[in-house]
Amino acid sequence: MSILKNEKKICAISAIGGLLILSFLIIHFLWMLLSNPLFYLSFLFGVLLLFIILIMLAWKAFGAVGGITFCILSCFIALSVSIGSRCQSFNLMALLYVIATINIYILFKKEKDITQMNQVNFEELEESFNSLFVESQKHYLQTEALNKKYYRYLNLKGVVELLSASLSLPEVVRVIVKKTLELVGKSDYCLFYLTDEEKQKLVLAAIEAQAGLISKIKSKNGDIFDDWVLKRRQPLMINDCKKDYRFGTKIVNKKDRDFKSLISSPLIVAEKVIGVLRLDNSHTNVYLQDDLRLLNIIANLAAVSIENAFLFQRTVELAITDGLTGLHVHRYFMERLTEELHRAARTKSSLSLLMCDIDHFKQYNDKYGHIAGDIVLKGISRILIECLQAGDFVARYGGEEFAIFLPKQDKQTAFEVAEKIRKAVKEREFILRRQKSRVSISIGVATFSEDGVIAEALIKEADLALYKAKQEGRDKVCSASI
């Protein structure tokens, strides 16, 4: 646009300047015509012919009004020269100007039509270009989104392989939170809750945070959003926690971390919610439906892996746990006792062993039946667990016998623990076939390394002490060295 304005400006200056100059030359030539008529007449013809160029420049600069005005001026000047020079042939110049003006009008009109047509074509091309550009950007964004989806789902294969490689529950949980945060992205935190079936509450199993954020939180049971997913068994996406109508009137505790948007998905196995997988961010409108769909897929994979880990853990527990009493079995007890004896030898610390036997247990079975005997075994197992501390290990050694080892406990302390157990058993009342009954227990105590340095020797001494307690009337605690 500025180029056209400059072009018209130059044409206007040239037309007006040329008119002044040529007018001056014509007056000068008319004055000099007296001295050499033929020579100056030819010059006047040449100068008057230049007026055609001035008309063209005026038309270009001022449009039709300027072109016609300059045509009239040119005719006036030509007629004036004809009168002044008394040469009637200059009258033809006026006719020539009119013809030239008409041709110039036709020429510029065609040029204007062509320019307008070109302008329309240019605008159409520009509009087409813009449409193509918008479409191209749309396709580019779609391609980017598809590529992102492709790589997301391609990486799911790696997640499946990692989850399949381990049956350890802590390891499976760690992989789930780490890979979920990586695959879905857009999140500050990934939280994984497992369901406490007895209390029907969520318990935080693992948390993963982006670099620079604190990965520890005080709240271990989830909030209203996690409870919503647990109870409704549905995925949840919130773009703004404060504006969501489902939770707008409720207060959310955000002391641990600040979040404004979140996506969450339940882990469902056999119609039961076994956990909740959640991502949240401190900004609003972060997540899309595609993110929630991907989280659902990960949650489904995680549910299978968690269930497998639970089953494996249960299988291991069954392999080392007595089905009746819930205590550890003889084989596992021996493995642990051997390990603890090696540790005690390295650290030069004490370890005490208690061998326990229910007094006259066969009589209970004969009198009340085996079901009553099972009740007694279960009850005494609970008493043993109640009387022990963290780190102590109790097992059903066989039949009505129980074995306990107490790491880092000397003989005197072990004897006191045994007495505590004996009294607790004696005070417990059992209901056997609607009859109140009491039982007693005899205990033998042996200590590493006073009574033995290997498991077999220590067990032998504890058995001898137990036999001694039986010989002295039962319901008694005896020590191997006494």
DSSP for 180-231, please give it.
HHHHH-S-SEEEEEEEETTTTEEEEEEEEE-TTS----S--S--HHHHHHHH
Separation in Å, CA 332 to CA 81, 326, 353, 354, 405: 134, 13, 15, 16, 13
Sheet with 236-238: strands ordered across: 201-209, 189-196, 272-281, 261-269, 236-238
Reference 19, options 4, 40, 36, 61; nearest CA is 61
What is the rounded distance in angstroms from the CA atom of residue 423 to the CA atom of residue 408? 23
3-state secondary structure of 420: helix
Active site residue 400: yes
Judging by beta carbons within 10 Å of its beta carbon (0-12, 13-18, 19+), is residue 44 exposed, middle or buried?
Answer: buried
Residue type, 404: I
Active-site residue, selected from the candidate residues 208, 340, 400, 461? 400
Pairing of strands 477-479, 441-448: parallel
Rounded distance between C-alpha atoms, residue 25 and residue 432, angstroms: 145
- Residue 156 phi, psi dihedral angles, 5° rounding: -60, -30
Contacts of 129 (CB under 8 A, 6+ apart): none
3-class state of residue 71 by DSSP: helix
Are 478 and 469 in contact by the 8 Å Cβ rule? The answer is yes
CB atoms < 10 A from the CB of 337, how many? Answer: 22
Active site residues: 400
